[in-house]
């Protein structure tokens, strides 16, 4: 469309590049340990997709499901450890 997409706003449109009141700068999360972050994602996927879901839906095995919970928990801890904040000291 020649004039841009239609809008339902009432009032003036914000101009790009101009500061606006209440605007907040969002900083990205710092990944301190990429290896621990990736290991956490891998363990989460293996724990949920390969162990936890088949244990509940297919095998109906409690111990198999418990091992899936443990591996998923280890993945969550590893993921959190990779995203930890740097110490201020």
Q: What pLDDT, in 10s, does the model give residues 7-53?
A: 666 666 555 655 555 566 777 777 788 888 899 999 999 988 988 88
Asked if 83 contacts 31 with a C-beta cutoff of 8 angstroms, the reply is: yes
Q: Look at residues 20, 22, 39 and name the one whose alpha carbon lies nearest to residue 31.
A: 39
Is 0.85 topped by the overall pTM? Answer: no
Asked if 47 contacts 69 with a C-beta cutoff of 8 angstroms, the reply is: yes
């Amino acid at each position: 469309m020649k004039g841009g997409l239609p809008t339902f706003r009432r009032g003036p449109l914000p101009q790009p590049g101009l500061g606006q009141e209440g605007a907040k700068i969002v900083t990205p999360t710092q990944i301190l340990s990429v290896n621990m972050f990736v290991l956490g994602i891998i363990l989460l996927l293996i724990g949920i997709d390969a162990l936890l879901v088949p244990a509940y839906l297919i095998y109906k095995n409690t111990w198999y499901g418990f091992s899936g919970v443990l591996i998923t928990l280890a993945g969550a801890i590893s993921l959190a450890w990779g995203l930890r904040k740097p110490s201020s000291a």
